[in-house]
Amino acid sequence: MNRLFKTAFLACTVWAAGAAMHAATAHAYSAQHGVKIQINDSIVAFPDSAPFVDGNGGMQVPIRSVAEQMGYKIDWRIDGSEVQITLQNNGRTIKMKTGSKDADVNGKRVTMTSPPALFKDNHMFIPVRFISESFGYRIQWDNKNGIAIICKDGKYHAPAWHAPAPQPKTPPLSAKLIKKAKTLLGIPYVWGGTSTSGFDCSGFVNYVFRQQGLDLPRTSRQIFHTSGNRVTTSNLKPGDLVFFSIGSNSHVGIYLGNDKFISATSSHGIHIDSLASSYWGSNYIGAKRIV
């Protein structure tokens, strides 16, 4: 007996593509939590391979556990390059073979728009509409939780599993730095100032970074020479520190993006300026990335 086909059969799978199951939604569930199959009130366990969604939004699930829970006995045989499959319980016998759109249900031919049985990657697939039409079971798609529910008893069933609520995304540290810096706009300039009563340029930067648990050297010169990694102007990102040489003094600010930066200035206090301005642009000496 061909071991490849035997392995394929033992891992055979169902292909499920309901009209209510949109491809984008199905792929989202597959990536986040994995799509699921439920029979009546019980989620089906798949110890060997989990259900997944194909490129067309069709849900594919291992049928072995499903067939057993639906009370079907499975038999099969190889006929040349084809595999013929028989599913049987006390009142129904279903026969199908790979590559054919026709199946036999209690001696009656049923034709599908796509082959009811085919092998892909050593697995067998059949469409859920074939299960619905030929097995006589109602199929529900629970869009909220990503579950295909096979109503074996013909009744409506609530989902037996609920997807966890999405966790809010934590903003990057650079965004937190910028948000905090902007809350300080308008605070006056104070030489040597390090509090919300007044800041000098390095006191302002130190205060903002310290709110996120980051300690920097006290002066702008020390920060420029000992902290972070140098960044070219073309690679500046929000949260980088930008430095200027003004006479015998140095100046530091926090880059905001779009050529804008925020700093403690002697003329306006905490203020947003442009790197492209004639004053700041002519005194710009470089940037460092701390985060």
- pLDDT (tens digit, 9 = 90+) per residue, 98-147? 878 888 888 888 887 666 666 666 667 777 667 666 777 888 888 888 88
Please tell me the total count of domains within the chain: 2
How buried is 248 (Cβ within 10 angstroms: 0-12 exposed, 13-18 middle, 19+ buried)? exposed
Query: Does residue 217 belong to any structural domain of this protein?
Result: yes
Q: According to the model, what pLDDT value does residue 290 have?
A: 95
Query: Does residue 266 belong to any structural domain of this protein?
Result: yes
Residue type at position 19: A
Question: What percentage of the chain has pLDDT greater than the value 90?
Answer: 44
pLDDT at 3 over 70: no
Query: Does residue 167 belong to any structural domain of this protein?
Result: no
Q: According to the model, what pLDDT value does residue 11 have?
A: 38
The predicted model gives 151-177 an average pLDDT of: 90
Co-location of 274 and 184 in the same domain: yes
CATH code at position 126: 3.30.457.10
The predicted model gives 211-240 an average pLDDT of: 96
| Confidence band, pLDDT 50/70/90 cuts, at residue 260 | very high
Co-location of 40 and 140 in the same domain: yes
CATH code at position 196: 3.90.1720.10
Read off the pLDDT of residues 6-33 as tens digits, 9 standing for 90 and up.
333 333 444 343 433 444 454 455 456 7
Q: At 222, phi and psi to the nearest 5? A: -65, -40
Co-location of 135 and 187 in the same domain: no
Q: According to the model, what pLDDT value does residue 121 have?
A: 65
Mean pLDDT of the chain: 83
Bridge partner residues of 88 (DSSP): 73, 93
Co-location of 129 and 196 in the same domain: no
The predicted model gives 144-165 an average pLDDT of: 89
Q: According to the model, what pLDDT value does residue 90 have?
A: 83
Q: How many Å apart are CA 235 and CA 156, to the nearest integer?
A: 58
Q: How many Å apart are CA 124 and CA 86, to the nearest integer?
A: 13
pTM score, two decimals? 0.52
Nearest to 52 by CA among 113, 114, 125: 125
Give the number of residues written for the chain.
291
Sign of torsion over alpha carbons 230, 236, 239, 241 = positive
pLDDT at 280 over 50: yes
Structural domain of 225 = 173-289
Question: What percentage of the chain has pLDDT greater than the value 70?
Answer: 81
Lowest mean pLDDT across 30-44, 183-197, 273-287: 30-44
| Confidence band, pLDDT 50/70/90 cuts, at residue 158 | very high
Q: How many Å apart are CA 167 and CA 110, to the nearest integer?
A: 46
